[in-house]
Amino acid sequence: MKKFLAVIAAAFCILTVLNTAHTAGKDEAEKKEQVKICISMPVDIADALAEDFTKASGVETQVLPLPPGSAENRFNFLASSGSDVWLGGTAEEFYLAAERGLLVSYQPEEAYAIPAEFRQNNWLWTALYIDHIGFLSNKRNLHYLGLYAPESWQELLAEPLKYELALADPKSGGAGYGMMTALWQLKGERAAMDYAEQLNRQRPEYFVNLQETIDEVRQGYKTVAVVPLSVALLLERSEENLFATIPADGNKNLISGAAVLNGPNNAAAGKFIEYLLSNRAAEIVAEKGHGLVWSLSAAADDELRSQYTGKMLTPVDDLSWTAGQKANVIERWLTAGRKAQ
């Protein structure tokens, strides 16, 4: 009997030790740092960045695409998703999210290297990549129409380009809305509305998204599209019939960046922001075929950017206007001159 009790006691001790080890291991796993990243950018790039960050830091990552829809629905999703970082938002989107109290201030260690116009003063968001507006033209169509590729907004008003212009829906931001706000801020309201009226007479067509806009020019249904410059340059390199140019009489800093959200893992979120500003992160983006976007981590280096953009006239955006008055700006632009027609 004593031997039996001794065996039972020993077995109990072993089970206790194993259970303690299992519990300790479980607790250690639960304590492991993690960060949930909500993205509004290409998934392949975000996944590559998240994977590389995890390898470098040991912080586990979860990538969650931000669903399409109205700004209000997207903000509601951000608020309820438990995400720690928003990656790929625009300056206008970040401004509105900050107004709703969705963002948490985080000042990067390399803050001094970030130009003031590429961040919010209280560090509620910071830019990562800067793109610009470009024109993507179909060479065959241009030849047929007897035109050179446009290099200014004024050249879009050429008579042969009537019905030949393609833009993405400005409500989605990007180059279409950037055109409106850039020219409005650079020219002033009256001159901008005069231009909008003349452009509207050209009957430009607005498409649901950027891909549809590109396809219209690629397939020859339209001759010129207003698109992000990096996209135009990338397509020019890959498709012989497409040609990229840059409007010389006004452009826009198309900012995409990152912000820390009101999530449960602010410390890990800060580490991810630091990683995103690193040269390694810029290399990952370039490896994914997006090396034509100017990375802030490449130096706030105007010489690097000017290699493909040259000297451009760009406004420093008043976000309280470009973000806060977006619906009004779009409505006034699209209806300019309507009564006179």
Report the alpha-carbon distance of residue 136 to residue 242 in Å, rounded. Answer: 7
Residue 40 · residue 59 · CB < 8 Å: no
Among 144, 321, 136, 129, which residue's Cα sits nearest to residue 234? 136
At residue 17, the pLDDT reads 46
Is the domain spanning 133-252+322-335 CATH 3.40.190.10? The answer is yes
Residue 43's Cα: distance from chain center in Å? Answer: 12
HSE of 17, CA atoms in CB hemisphere, 13 A: 6
- Model confidence pLDDT, tens digit, residues 114-157: 777 777 778 999 888 888 999 999 999 999 999 999 999 999 99
At residue 29, the pLDDT reads 47
Report the alpha-carbon distance of residue 171 to residue 160 in Å, rounded. Answer: 27
At residue 312, the pLDDT reads 75
At residue 296, the pLDDT reads 60
Q: What is the CATH number of domain 31-130+255-310?
A: 3.40.190.10
Q: What is the pTM of this model?
A: 0.81
Question: How much of the chain exceeds pLDDT 70, in percent?
Answer: 83
3-state SS, residue 167: strand
Report the alpha-carbon distance of residue 196 to residue 336 in Å, rounded. Answer: 6
Is the predicted pLDDT of residue 165 greater than 90, yes or no? yes
Give the residue with greater pLDDT, 311 vs 44.
44
Which backbone phi and psi does 18 adopt, to 5 degrees? -65, -40
Which backbone phi and psi does 34 adopt, to 5 degrees? -150, 160
Give the residue with greater pLDDT, 280 vs 291.
280
Report the alpha-carbon distance of residue 253 to residue 242 in Å, rounded. Answer: 23
DSSP state of 253: -
Report the alpha-carbon distance of residue 257 to residue 118 in Å, rounded. Answer: 9
- Model confidence pLDDT, tens digit, residues 41-87: 889 999 999 999 999 999 999 999 998 778 888 899 999 999 999 99
Is the predicted pLDDT of residue 14 greater than 60, yes or no? no
Which backbone phi and psi does 135 adopt, to 5 degrees? -105, 130
Give the residue with greater pLDDT, 274 vs 279.
274
Report DSSP letters for 92-159, one per residue: HHHHHHHHTT-EE----TTGGGS-GGGB-TT-S-EEEEEE-EEEEEEHHHHHHHT-PPP-STGGGG-G
Average predicted confidence (pLDDT) for the chain: 85
Is the predicted pLDDT of residue 23 greater than 70, yes or no? no
DSSP state of 67: P
Among 123, 142, 72, 90, which residue's Cα sits nearest to residue 270? 123
pLDDT-based confidence at residue 228 (cuts at 50, 70, 90) = very high
Report DSSP letters for 170-239, one per residue: GGG-HHHHHHHHHHHHHH-HHHHHHHHHHHHHT--EEESSHHHHHHHHHTTS-SEEEEEHHHHHHHHHH-
Which backbone phi and psi does 289 adopt, to 5 degrees? 90, 15
Which backbone phi and psi does 206 adopt, to 5 degrees? -105, 130
3-state SS, residue 35: strand
Residue 80 · residue 102 · CB < 8 Å: no
- Range(s) for CATH 3.40.190.10 in the chain? 31-130+255-310, 133-252+322-335
At residue 293, the pLDDT reads 57
For helices 91-99 and 71-80, give the axis angle rounded to 10 degrees: 60
